[in-house]
Amino acid sequence: MSERVPLVDYLVLDDPPHLVAKQCTQCGARYFDRRNACASCFAEEFDSVPIDNDGVLRSFTIVAHAGPGIEVPFVAGVVDCGGTSVRGNVINVEPDAEHVSLGMPVRLATYSLGVDDNGTEAIGFGYEPVDGEPTEPGRA
């Protein structure tokens, strides 16, 4: 059976797949990258914490011009997942302003990036719309 690897190390391919953050044990600040210390309180110890899969689209753009080799258009956004902000694309949606809106409820979804020469499959993530009432502007 071929192996699967996540696009980034903070995507955990469990059932269901989810993101994890490094949380500062002293002040609770959360990060997704490899850390040297906490930028908020300068402490050096972190716990791994799971991030909610459900969230609200706090901001987005529909990118029509990007670097070479990047397929456009795509929707880039910031999702508020239970108080933790996550950067990700909005996927499984028509990439236009009629189908994507601020405050839209979204949920983590994964997709295949393809397989490499060893047969290893890379799995990426994004956020897809789910049914529900959008958060009204001003009440975010």
Partner 1 sequence: MSASEDIWILGIHMTKFGKHPDLDTVDLGAEAIRGALADGGVTMADMGVVAAGNLMGGGGIGQQLQKQVGQTGVPVYNVSNACATGATALRTAIMAVKAGECDMGLAVGVEKLAGAGLLGGGGKPRADGKVYEPSGRFGAVAPTDGRIGTNTMPGVFAQVGMEYGHRYGGTSFELFARISEKNHAHSTLNPLAAYSKAMSLEQIMNDVMIAYPNTRPMCSANCDGAAAAVVTNGATLKTLSLEQQRRAIKVSASVLTSDPWQEACQVLPDVNTLTRNAATQAYEQAGVGPEDLDLVELHDCFATAELVHYDNLGLCEEGGAVDFFGSGAPWRDGSKPVNVSGGLQSKGHPISATGIANIWEVCQHLRDECGDRQIPDAKVGLAHVIGLGSACGVHILERAAA
What string of H, E and C letters represents the secondary structure of 33-79? CCCCCCCCCCCCCEEEEECCCEEEEEEEEEECCCCCCCCCCEEEEEE
Q: Please, what is the minimum distance in Å from the beta carbon of residue 80 to partner 1?
A: 8
Applying CB under 8 A, which residues contact partner 1? 5-10, 29-34, 39-40, 58-72, 74, 76-78, 83-89, 97, 102-103, 113-114, 116-118, 120, 122, 124-125, 135-138, 140
Q: Please, what is the minimum distance in Å from the beta carbon of residue 131 to partner 1?
A: 20
Q: How many Å is the maximal CA-CA distance in the chain? A: 50
| CA-closest candidate to residue 89, choices 69, 54, 68, 63 | 63
Q: Please, what is the minimum distance in Å from the beta carbon of residue 94 to partner 1?
A: 13
Q: Rounded to whole angstroms, how far apart are CA atoms 89 and 128? A: 9
